[in-house]
Amino acid sequence: MQKIILAVAALAGAVVPAAPAQAAAPVLVARYTFDGGAVGGRVADTSGRAPALTVRAADQGVVRFEGAPQGGRYAAFPAACAAAATVCPRGLLEAANDADLNPGTRLFRWSARVNVTKAQLTGSANVLQKGVATGGSQWKLQIGATNGRAQCVATGVGSPTVYVVRSAGTVADGTWHKVLCQRSGTSLAVFVDGVQRGQATIPAALTISNNLPLRIGGPNFNARRDMYHGLLDDVYAELG
């Protein structure tokens, strides 16, 4: 008993180190649920921090917002064109450049729920992106045409190197999947339905910052390939 009492007394006078500070949770900086559809050609952000999306179309393309408003809606993008088609309807959603979507070297997550089939992939379907790999820097979520795997892409300012991490399995199976990309320090990771399915190492100093818009459903209207032709829901970004 004496030893126990002495030990407690010693602890009472000891200096106890402070607990390590907890890292701040990432902050939601953009979210598009599509539940309200498009009003006046614009889709509202529900995070309170990001600009609204503008619905854009080419060659009579239409982005539809399907589902019951009470039960939640999703975006449906134009169907893929036949190889011999002379006119190819295309559509995408675009938001203006925003500082919160330029993470620099900070922790950053970008995510979307996708529903697409292998037949709907006409290239590396661009689900969402900000920036271009050859023009400063970029973060992107796409689905590869060959195996339908989710891909997270990052390119830094002043660097020609494109870093890509691919999910271990396909997401192009006609069912809903939540895909999340995360850049944290030297890690670029892809998660599918809450499970990490791939990881790549990137430089800690890799900086993502550009003055280009956020685009959802395709990179631009310059070509038929790389457009997204499936269903999409709950697009968001978090900054830490």
In a domain, 173, yes or no: yes
Question: Do residues 198 and 190 touch, judged by C-beta distance below 8 A?
Answer: yes
In a domain, 191, yes or no: yes
Q: What is the CATH number of the domain that holds 202?
A: 2.60.120.200
In a domain, 18, yes or no: no
In a domain, 15, yes or no: no
Question: Do residues 91 and 61 touch, judged by C-beta distance below 8 A?
Answer: yes
pLDDT grade for 205, boundaries at 50, 70 and 90: very high
In a domain, 98, yes or no: yes
pTM, two decimal places: 0.89
In a domain, 109, yes or no: yes
Q: Higher pLDDT residue, 88 or 14?
A: 88
Total number of domains constituting the chain? 1
In a domain, 11, yes or no: no
Q: CA torsion 206→210→214→215, rounded to 10°?
A: -90
In a domain, 58, yes or no: yes
Q: CA torsion 162→165→169→171, rounded to 10°?
A: -70
pLDDT grade for 106, boundaries at 50, 70 and 90: very high
Record the tokens describing residue 222, joined without a space.
Answer: 């310059």
Nearest by Cα to 106 from 237, 206, 236? 206
Q: Which domain holds residue 203?
A: 25-80+92-239
